[in-house]
Structure 1
């Protein structure tokens, strides 16, 4: 259910922004008659999309696993301010309010993508764990035979783990780990340890559900190891 709400939330946000940007374009170029017609014809859509954004966003915040991070709280506050500001700006034909709304939505997008109020994600050095538990720098090429993790995921086990990742993780994280749907962590940049990854896969975190009831301990372990291979 959470995944369905997440995809619905992303869709209605995109639709709302497309409508808003189209009308803002008319306002900025002084197409006031066209703007009035557009506002009249899309008034119900604005109400529906705005309501769905609040409903789906509220549900996702309620289902968030753990305390809400500061960047997410501020993002929510900015969205709650930007939506009515955008509507009022278009209604009053105020270019200033419309421009402020555009800037807020742009900033919110950057915060959502980077999970940082400074819009600068942490690009820490990749970490790999060897079979004996030693920690070292991961190879930039996951296909190199020298990669200690790749030695633990060979043949059928590697293919099975890839299949599990594709079925459970790729929809949000992407095949290469960079997709980031709904705030999913960029696995190519993540500095989480293998132990942390095991915990998150099993129990979930944020909007990500736990898969401990679907996967065996060995599958959780190999999936955690496989996710480190996506690092650059």
Structure 2
């Protein structure tokens, strides 16, 4: 089974597991125990299958990472705790345990959506005063006094030579933090059919658009990085091309 198929399976199983759990939790909190017992008997095997598949597919995807951010490690630990809590809470008709597992699942969802323990998107870093375009385009540099200076790069100089040191360092840090887990350090990893950046011929503007808005399984990073950082990151990706 391909990584892409595993990802789709994982998401589908998680959704089905949560739907069943929420239905059961609602019946428990509304004291409809008779109906709950009927559903529990009919879905006992499904609960075991879904729980096992979540752990197996999730574990497989985690092993594909070259490095895991803190929020992802916390997410894994919380999911490992929430699944048995949910099963036990419903089985024992224990409302506190069931409520706790619901809270954990909601927190995990918010954390995963924002890729942050605080469930808030990272604020864009301060503007460095430099905007960089990819090769074969004009590079617009903005000094501290606000004057715009256009430098012709039609001859296609090395992109790293165009990035000032702090912009290059920032772009690399963003790539390592947000992109390397799927694309790899050299852009060739292809986790979940991620584009091979070493052979991509997309324009810098097209790359910037995908970085900000996402595409397919890749999430967008608008709100997590600034427009300028997305532009610098798109330019940095040129250094990964063969």
Structure with the greater alpha carbon radius of gyration: 2
TM-score scaled by length of structure 1:
0.65
Change (3 A) 1:120 1:51: same
For the aligned residue pairs, the C-alpha RMSD in angstroms reads: 3.3
Residue matched to 1:17: 18
Work out whether 1:87 is the aligned partner of 2:87: yes
Matched residue count: 176
Rounded Cα–Cα distance in structure 2 between residues aligned with 1:51 and 1:221: 42
2:188 to 193, 197, 203: 203
Rounded Cα–Cα distance in structure 1 between residues aligned with 2:111 and 2:139: 38
Change (3 A) 1:78 1:196: closer
Rounded Cα–Cα distance in structure 1 between residues aligned with 2:123 and 2:193: 22
Residue matched to 1:50: 51
Change (3 A) 1:123 1:207: farther
Stretches of structure 2 lacking an aligned partner (at least 5 in a row)? 144-149, 155-169, 214-221, 228-242
Work out whether 1:129 is the aligned partner of 2:112: no
Stretches of structure 1 lacking an aligned partner (at least 5 in a row)? 137-147, 153-191
Whether the 8 Å CA contact 1:129–1:135 is kept in 2: the answer is: no
Rounded Cα–Cα distance in structure 2 between residues aligned with 1:107 and 1:31: 27
Residue matched to 2:210: 227
Work out whether 1:71 is the aligned partner of 2:66: no
Question: Following superposition of structure 1 onto structure 2, how do residues 1-232 of structure 1 map, counting pairs within 5 Å?
Answer: 1-64=2-65, 66-124=66-124, 128-130=131-133, 131-132=138-139, 134=141, 193=171, 202-204=187-189, 209-212=194-197, 215-216=199-200, 218-219=201-202, 221=204, 223-227=206-210, 230=213
Residue aligned with 2:108, SS: helix
TM-score scaled by length of structure 2:
0.62
